[in-house]
Amino acid sequence: MTQKYPEFQTANLEAWAKAAAKSAPGGNVEALNWQTPDGITVKPLYTAADTQNLPYANTLPGFEPYLRGPQATMYAVRPWTIRQYAGFSTAEESNAFYRKALTAGGQGVSVAFDLATHRGYDSDHPRVTGDVGKAGVAIDSVEDMKVLFDQIPLDKVSVSMTMNGAVLPVLAGYVVAAEEQGVSQDKLSGTIQNDILKEFMVRNTYIYPPKPSMRIIGDIIEYTAKNMPKFNSISISGYHMQEAGANQALELAFTLADGKEYVKTAIAKGMDVDEFAGRLSFFWAIGMNFYLEVAKMRAARLLWCRIMKGFNAKSPKSLMLRTHCQTSGWSLTEQDPYNNVVRTTIEAMAAVFGGTQSLHTNSFDEAIALPTEFSSRIARNTQLIIQEETHIPNVIDPWAGSYMMEKLTQDMADAAWAIIEEVEAMGGMTQAVDSGWAKLKIEAAAAEKQARIDSGKDVIVGVNKYKLKLEDVIESRDIDNVAVRDGQIERLNKIKKNRDAAQVQQALAAIETAAASGTGNLLDLSIKAVRARATVGEISDAMEKSFGRHRADTQKVTGVYAAAFDTDTTDGDTMDYWNALKAEIADFAAAQGRRPRVMISKLGQDGHDRGAKVVATAFADLGFDVDIGPLFQTPEECARQAIENDVHAVGVSTLAAGHKTLVPAIIAELHKQGADDIIVFVGGVIPRQDYAMLYDAGVKGIYGPGTPIPASAKDVLAQIKKALNV
């Protein structure tokens, strides 16, 4: 029998290096290596030699250490769940969206709550005037929750709820709404996020300090293990860490370290690890570093199995990491936004290749405003096309055996494990969070990433390269915050009028006593209070009397942003611009006797502070004096601090759609307090149709996503000079 193909000469690595050197910069093949933000070296070529000594390269899916997937057949039998995260202003509007999504191919409900609910305030509280119904659905009581799930059979549809601060009244509201729908607790399936440690690092929708917050988590794990066997009691979330700036290794390490801390908390309550660990789940961000994201998810399962064996877990369900994923919101651009459809598709494929159990794909317009029905349909169909047209699900872990992917998985695991060991040496994740160390690590990574974009080292198509001369106008969703709040207050008043006030007070008193004494289960007591029609705010307040409300320290990193503008890798024009701006700021200081002073502020309940912290770092590195206002300020508090600190300008960072209410309010408050000379500028997610309104209100500069920080700094300096007539 003759050979089908002729004999080929096998080249060796040395021969390849010589051939590659002919086209490599300076004849140096190592110049083709990519150094990831995680400190991992990715080579242009991998061979069998790179996988020779890897201990887990030949494992199988569904078996320890689950590197290749938690289930033996993965998507070949059952594709991942399409679970689109959404919440729009009112329970009625959100319910309509969920029902349409389920009819159109969605396979589960994922609820986004507004920031007032997250922070444990009822809609009539004076601190949340700009937040009600913005960036999520307003929920004040079980009556809202019943509307939210109207005609959605909760014994058949799994529900995921992203809630951490007000987790007790919200989870209790879901349980009671199901009861009144005729569905018992043991039939409920889904997940409550309930991951408070990451809130202290990045997202900031906490209510109570770390210690009592950890007690709440323990109570929820205990109650659900006994009464809700199908329900995941916690979703340990790295998503918000990456969105806040963490690289993949930091996200992986800090998330697994959080999970380890939660397991310790449950064991400390006297629970056996196998009693609850099988109901823990995880939640990853999936960004544009395609290879790293696939490797991260494979490494996560490997490391979680290792961690759980350290707790003597024996059940396979305790050892396997199951996860939900969401494509990155931070990678979405306001400029040339249809590019975001491509970005989301690439990220979705990384999540699938990494072995996710459920997935949310972001809509292309989310860097502009809340998604429209049109953009949400494209996002959902992205998953349906991958599931039903590509045949990607037919192969289990198709990256297995790849020299590059197996080595990168091990490199990612090693990088994350080194950070986990550093956390353990500090006394665990609660200590690392309490000290502020973990938060500063993420903020440093965020500042470095932004500087790489602003200096042109990292390309963002349509933003810092291949920019459009004229941007298309994109239709965006607008929420009438005033109308939503008025409707919520009307419903609240009706509930309070018709309930048994004595029964409510008795239930709230029981919660207050349990919080103070450390006895009883707070979820059990919250469910009883919700049955009596106690509100989210009332239940939260009952615990706050004993626990207090957490106040975060305001810190910023310095030098990290400036370091990315080094002369070796930054092009000459960018470097000249940077140096000229620093000189202009220095000249201002010399002429005025002090440096230009700005205050970076967050108004309302928007805790997403990545942008605020990065801007503060960059402005400080340029030579501004920078004050950072505490989170959750009212316009009155912000104006008072700005005047007391004698600033030239206030910069408002807004990501949660409260700008139409809160920015005019800060300008009016500065005027009221006699500080018309302080200019106001705004950055963040602001639809272009709102620009005119903000300028009419007195805003001097608006800097949307993708604006290079040096450009915004130069404009702010010019506005300060104009206000001073210099």
The catalytic residue positions are 85, 239-240, 602, 606, 608
316's tokens: 């396979």
**The tokens 């405003």 sit on which residue?**
369
Q: Which amino acid is at 24?
A: A
On whether the CB atoms of residues 495 and 531 are closer than 8 A, the answer is no
On whether the CB atoms of residues 599 and 629 are closer than 8 A, the answer is yes
* Contacts of residue 418, Cβ cutoff 8 Å, sequence gap at least 6: 253
Q: Residue 625: name the closest of 503, 701, 493, 716 by CA.
A: 716
DSSP class of 199: I
On whether the CB atoms of residues 41 and 250 are closer than 8 A, the answer is no
On whether the CB atoms of residues 641 and 690 are closer than 8 A, the answer is no
Q: Using omega within 30 degrees of 0 as the cis cutoff, is the peptide bond preceding 708 cis?
A: no
650's tokens: 């206030």
State how far the Cα of 551 lies from the Cα of 592, in Å rounded to an integer. Answer: 35
Q: What is the spatial order of strands in the sheet that 234-237 belongs to?
A: 231-232, 190-192, 159-162, 108-112, 81-86, 358-360, 323-327, 280-286, 234-237
Calculate ∠ Cα 368-371-375, nearest 5°: 105
On whether the CB atoms of residues 372 and 337 are closer than 8 A, the answer is no
473's tokens: 């106008």
Angle, helix 339-354 to helix 373-388, in steps of 10 degrees = 40
Classify residue 554 by burial, with Cβ atoms within 10 Å: 0-12, 13-18, 19+. middle
Calculate ∠ Cα 309-313-317, nearest 5°: 105
Q: Residue 659: name the closest of 478, 483, 471 by CA.
A: 478
State how far the Cα of 515 lies from the Cα of 543, in Å rounded to an integer. Answer: 6
Classify residue 643 by burial, with Cβ atoms within 10 Å: 0-12, 13-18, 19+. middle
148's tokens: 């939210």
Other beta carbons less than 10 A from residue 534's beta carbon: 28
Instruction: With H, G, I as helix, E, B as strand and everything else as coil, classify residue 454.
Output: helix
Calculate ∠ Cα 137-199-452, nearest 5°: 100
DSSP class of 370: S
